[in-house]
Amino acid sequence: MLFPRLPPPLCLACVLVLSACATTDKAPPGDSGQAAAAREQPSRVPATPVRVGSAKAPTPFADDETRRVVYFAFGETMIDSESADILRQNAQKLKEDPQLVVTLVGHTDNLGSAAYNLAVADKRIEAVSDRLRSLGVPRSQIRRLPVGSEQSSKQACDSEACRRTMRRVELVYERR
- pLDDT tens, 88-120? 999 999 999 999 999 999 999 988 899 999 999
Q: CB of 120 within 8 A of CB of 108?
A: yes
User: Within 13 A of 51's CA, how many CA atoms are on the CB side?
Assistant: 5
Q: CB of 153 within 8 A of CB of 90?
A: no
Q: Which CATH class is domain 66-175?
A: alpha beta
- pLDDT tens, 49-92? 334 444 567 888 888 999 999 999 998 999 999 999 999 999 99
Domain map of the chain by residue range? 66-175
Beta bridge pairs of residue 148: 107
Q: Is the pLDDT confidence value at 9 over 90?
A: no
- pLDDT tens, 116-155? 999 999 999 999 999 999 999 999 999 999 998 877 656 6
pTM, rounded to two decimals: 0.66
DSSP 65-76: GGGGEEE--TT-
Residue 9 CB neighbours (<10 A) = 8
For CA atoms 88, 93, 98, 102, the dihedral sign is negative
What is the rounded distance in angstroms from the CA atom of residue 173 to the CA atom of residue 176?
10
